Amino acid sequence: MNKQHNVLYWSIIGVLLCIVGLPVQAQECEGIEVLASSLNVRTGASTSYSKVGRINKGEKYVTVAEQGNWKKIWFAEQARWIYAKYYTKSMTINCGSVVNTNSLNVRTGASTNYTKAGTMPKGSEWAIIGESGAWRKVWYKSEARWVHGYYLDGNNIADIEVDSFTINNNAASSDSRYVTVFAALSEMASYYQISENSYFSGAEWKPYSDDMIAFTLSEENGEKTVYFRVKNADGRISNTASDSIELAVQDTKAYRIDRDLFFSNIRSQFGSLKQSQVNGLNFLLENIELDEYPAINNFTVWARQIAYMLATTKHEVANTYTPITEYSNTTCKRYDGGCTYKGRGYVQLTHKYNYQNMGDILGVDLVSYPGLALDPDIAYNVMSYGMFYGIFTGRTLGRYIKQGKTDYYNARRVINGLDKASLIKGYAKKFQTILTNSVK
């Protein structure tokens, strides 16, 4: 298994108004403010027309037409009439027109999570009376309601775009499944999706942060196309960007594990499994089959070394089989670098100097971005390299498990003295049986 790791780098170009928090400037329109305690809204410019509602003192509307003392305003889905003489004050107001959609949803709050209160048609004009992020407050049927400002002209709500996207700085090929992705965006993203499927089938929206994020190509050699898109805090989804690279990884000599036999055997040894545990174990097995650090030329030794790795993982991640963060916020205060470098991963990597050592080995900046130790691909390689090269305590796994020797008890010294050595030894014996009966 090629251990060269690359990490996803992000370059974010913020939209200036959003970054510095300046108020967004709306366009100006002629409008009115209601002075009367309440004012009838009618279907036409005369008291002979039907009443369709009332507007109240302090409300503001754009004037879209006049007929004598009557003025036309947008009240809901249609333009209506009010008698303006004596009862309104003419003024210049901030406004916006619905320009990007035929029907704009009106909501009770500044989020798509709020109830829909109606719609606005294309071309209707509204007084902007407040804002919250990209959302704009208006009077709608005499109620303060909200619409997304992206659809109102004069409000400068930027759509988010992926301006450029490359894999490994536009390299033609890679001998590692772990690649570096570079994306330049038009504004700050809140979430991202990345996949080899152009429809992003099965790809989760993951929170964007300043930490770098790793991506792993699928196993088969050949041309790989990676698709990428982001979403901002207002729910606007970017265009889909893509880049391609040729994957050329040398075949491994490791053993293949029959999944049906493995999961049948593990349930007989440890009991039922949750789907999350099955998913975690499947990921570990995929990496184990590619890993060339164990004794791949000797099945007996290989099975026992892998058994101890799985036993260690079972204990260190509290039986989840996925990378976790150390629970305690007390013990980590004594670590080199403090709680910034608390335990993370499959084997709970701790101390700044260990983050530095493993980062240098794997080509990942774990000191600046310690959260990357939770990435499953990185966490697996931290565990495997660390155990077989004695990075954690100076003791290697091959010292205790090799041809002619299997010392599951003292193998605990590879990770953490003899803490829980007997418990993990018991796990290892069961995993040894599981693997012996599960390899093709």
Instruction: Give the residue range(s) of CATH 1.10.530.10 domains in the chain.
Output: 259-436
Instruction: Give the residue range(s) of CATH 2.60.40.10 domains in the chain.
Output: 9-16+159-247
Higher pLDDT, 188 or 110: 110
Cα end-to-end distance, the chain, whole Å: 19
Q: What is the mean pLDDT of residues 335-355?
A: 94
Give the strand pairing for 191-195 and 27-34: unpaired
Q: What is the pLDDT of residues 193-213, one digit of tens each?
A: 999 999 898 888 888 775 556
13 pLDDT tier (thresholds 50, 70, 90): very low
Are the C-beta atoms of residues 203 and 216 closer than 8 Å to each other?
Answer: no
Q: What is the mean pLDDT of residues 409-425?
A: 95
Question: Does the pLDDT of residue 435 top 50, yes or no?
Answer: yes
Torsion angle in degrees (nearest 10) through CA of 15, 16, 21, 27: -90
Most confident of 36-40, 112-116, 246-250, 287-291: 36-40
Question: Does the pLDDT of residue 15 top 60, yes or no?
Answer: no
- Nearest alpha carbon to residue 282 among 294, 273, 270: 273
CA pair distance 34, 76, nearest whole angstrom:
17
pTM over 0.85: no
| From 73-77, 215-219, 305-309, 412-416, the region with the lowest mean pLDDT | 215-219
Angle between helices 299-316 and 275-290 (to 10 degrees): 140
Domain 259-436 has CATH 3.40.190.90: no
Q: What is the pLDDT of residues 299-327, one digit of tens each?
A: 999 999 999 999 999 999 999 999 999 98
Q: What CATH number is given for 25-151 in this structure?
A: 2.30.30.40
Angle between helices 352-362 and 376-389 (to 10 degrees): 100
The pLDDT > 90 percentage for the chain reads 60
Instruction: Give the residue range(s) of CATH 2.30.30.40 domains in the chain.
Output: 25-151
Q: What CATH number is given for 9-16+159-247 in this structure?
A: 2.60.40.10
Tell me, what's the pLDDT at 388? 94
Q: What is the pLDDT of residues 236-270, one digit of tens each?
A: 788 899 999 999 876 655 688 999 899 999 999 99
Tell me, what's the pLDDT at 248? 87
Tell me, what's the pLDDT at 253? 58
| From 35-44, 359-368, 383-392, the region with the lowest mean pLDDT | 359-368
Mean pLDDT (the chain, rounded): 87
Q: What is the mean pLDDT of residues 138-158?
A: 83
Tell me, what's the pLDDT at 217? 87
